[in-house]
Amino acid sequence: MNSNSEISRSWLLVNAMHHEQFDVAAKSRADEIILDVEDAVDPKFKGEALEKVINWLNDEGTGWVRINDYTTDFWRQDLDGLKGVKGLKGVMLAKTETASQVTETYAALGSTLPVIALVESALGIEDSREIASAKGAYRLAFGSGDYRRDTGTSVDDLAMAYPRSKLVVASRIGNLPGPIDGPTVGSNHAVLREKSELAVALGMTGKLCLDTSQLAVINETICPTVADVTWAHDFISDFEARGRVIRDGSDLPRLGRAEKIMKLANAFNISPR
């Protein structure tokens, strides 16, 4: 897993009832793993699932946990169980709709662990600017399936561009990394690549997934290309060689883009040609 979650690309959701998959997921190509005690788990098994997660995290495991939403009784149960757990990197708060839900989750975990706000409804999308600015908010993520169910929106790219763009703009205003896109269901890697490329074009910088077979495609797509890295490397080298002198109004924006690309290239071991 990647040590810098701010730039992590692939976020693998793992059903918390499937304890045998925890180690497999941790050894996979996923930048991050999220043990899911929310939608993946039947209500009557949520306590058992949480116990499996706590035991694994306390026994040298490391990862995130998708907890139940604030409006349920399970929210408090999840937080009480997870507080102080050794390998917990942070939580993903399901069905986030208000900034206060983020801040209360953050406080309940001792105000030390980050909260990824999973936005899955019309209200959440419209209030995403406040959510992104909430104390404890780390990144925004898009619960695309539940959003479509809530709004009646189709899976069409144009129809789904608005909520994705709202999360991108909200993240920028809240000074957060780019948001994490929802999963693409299915085994067609061409479709997955197309959807990942669209997410990147809109300004998203990560993607949820449900299957380890999708990880390589996501990691490759949500990453600077060799051509991008080569351009950034050459631009910075030239800029330094001329004493960092600004020639025109395009230099500073291009420098900012080049530095961002090189940060990612260094993190993901992409070399210029």
Helical axes 99-108 vs 73-82, angle rounded to 10°? 40
Q: Which two tokens stand for residue 176?
A: 């957060």
Tokens 């899976």 correspond to 155
d(CA 255, CA 137): 28
Q: Considering the chain, what is the average pLDDT of its residues?
A: 94
Tens-place pLDDT, residues 162-192: 999 999 999 999 999 999 999 999 889 999 9
CA atoms within 13 A on the CB side of 75: 16
CA distance 41 to 67: 11
Higher pLDDT, 228 or 54: 54
Provide the pLDDT for residue 3: 53
CB atoms within 10 A of CB 101: 21
Q: pLDDT class for 7, splitting at 50, 70, 90?
A: very high
- How many other CB atoms are there within 10 angstroms of residue 260's CB atom? 13
What local confidence, expressed as pLDDT, does residue 57 receive? Answer: 98
Q: What pLDDT was estimated at residue 191?
A: 96
User: pTM of whole model > 0.85?
Assistant: yes
Mind listing the pLDDT tens digit for each residue in 64-121? 999 999 999 999 999 999 999 999 999 999 999 999 999 999 999 999 999 999 999 9
Query: Quick one: pLDDT at residue 2?
Result: 44
Question: What share of the chain in percent tops pLDDT 70?
Answer: 99
Q: Residue 251 — pLDDT band, cuts 50, 70, 90? A: confident
Both structure tokens of 249? 């109004």
Average pLDDT over residues 191-196: 96
pLDDT of residue 273: 85
Helix axes 46-58, 73-82, angle to 10 degrees: 20
Residue-wise pLDDT for 8-28, tens only, equals 999 999 999 999 999 999 999
pLDDT band at 268 (very low <50, low <70, confident <90, very high): confident
